[in-house]
Amino acid sequence: MTYKLIDGKAISNSIKIEIKESVTDLIREHSIKPGLTVILVGNDPASQVYVRNKRRSAIETGMFSTVVNLPGSTSKEELLSRIVTLNHDDNCHGILVQLPLPDHLDENEILASIDPEKDVDGLHPKNIGLLSMGSPRFVPATPFGIKEMLMRSNNDPKGKHVVILGRSNIVGKPLSNLLSLKTQGGDATVTLCHSRTKNLEAITQSADVLVAAIGIPEFITYEMVSDGVVVIDVGVNRVEDKTRERGYRLTGDIAFEEVSQKASAITPVPGGVGPMTIAMLLHNTLDAAYRKI
């Protein structure tokens, strides 16, 4: 089967162009420059890269963006006080706390302290609740990006059996809610799988659309999928590769070479879901700023 590559980089670039145009309009017509603040606690190298990319992309689309760098030893009180200050800052429309946080900080407590109207990561309990109820405000960026990729590559999930592997709060669970909404881009029949799921292979073989978000390199193999499946690979895994100067390469949760022989469409890693996540974060920030008109 010849597959079609779902190019997340190209799709995200066209979304960023649309966002840039809207940012220009917002500034011209309402003198509002969307502002995104990212809080990074500690010095995890991967998180530093993600934060840098988010800020750079925000600035590229004409937004105002700052990064608050805090030491790994930052106390809960200090972090909460920074968030309260940002909650009251009219120039800041979106607040994102980069995850994971150091162990001594309770992620749920910190996320719940963000003003829900500035929660552009969509992880505040109120925004999660709105999504579950079918009236989403800010949808978490990775699931939102997956929905956009499906729609913009002519793979509408409506009426399809979507199988999701992984039930995290940032990907699997919100994606299952999003794709089963009674709305455009939704209306899928969703099966959410995890590490305790029995007969996983029988379930993945029945998927029209398969989303893998588990963090295990090349877990999904040829035998686990059926002909014509649409595959979305969320996983980002470092595997040792001595042929590369840096000593590793990035791979997804899908064995790309073999699964692409059966897939009708498939996302690469890198260049698939990752760039979409940033684009949808910017989309949410723009939306947060528009809500201030």
Catalytic residues: 54, 98, 121
Q: Which residues pair with 232 in a beta bridge?
A: 211
The verdict on 192 binding ligand NAP (CB under 6 A) reads no
114, 188, 214, 265: which one contacts ligand NAP (CB under 6 A)?
A: 214
Q: Which amino acid is at 215?
A: G
DSSP string, 216-232: -TT-B-GGGS-TT-EEE
92, 170, 178, 190: which one contacts ligand NAP (CB under 6 A)?
A: 170
95, 97, 171, 259: which one contacts ligand NAP (CB under 6 A)?
A: 171
Residues contacting ligand NAP: total by CB under 6 A: 25
Structure tokens at 36: 């995104």
CB of 270 to ligand NAP, least distance (A): 8
205, 215, 250, 258: which one contacts ligand NAP (CB under 6 A)?
A: 215
Stretch that binds ligand NAP, among 52-60, 147-155, 160-168, 284-292 (CB under 6 A): 160-168
The 10 Å CB-count burial string (b at 16+, else e) for 122-161 is bbbebbbebbeeeebbbbbbbbbbbbbbbebbebbbeebb
- Of 117 and 253, CB closest to ligand NAP: 253
The verdict on 167 binding ligand NAP (CB under 6 A) reads yes
Q: Is 185 helix (H, G, I), strand (E, B) or coil?
A: coil
Stretch that binds ligand NAP, among 15-23, 147-155, 194-202, 222-230 (CB under 6 A): 194-202
Q: Which residues pair with 162 in a beta bridge?
A: 190, 209
Asked whether the beta carbons of 258 and 239 are under 8 A apart, the reply is no
| Best CA proximity match to 267, nearest among 229, 240, 241 | 229
List of residues contacting ligand NAP (CB under 6 A): 142, 165-168, 170-172, 193-197, 200, 213-216, 234-237, 273-274, 277
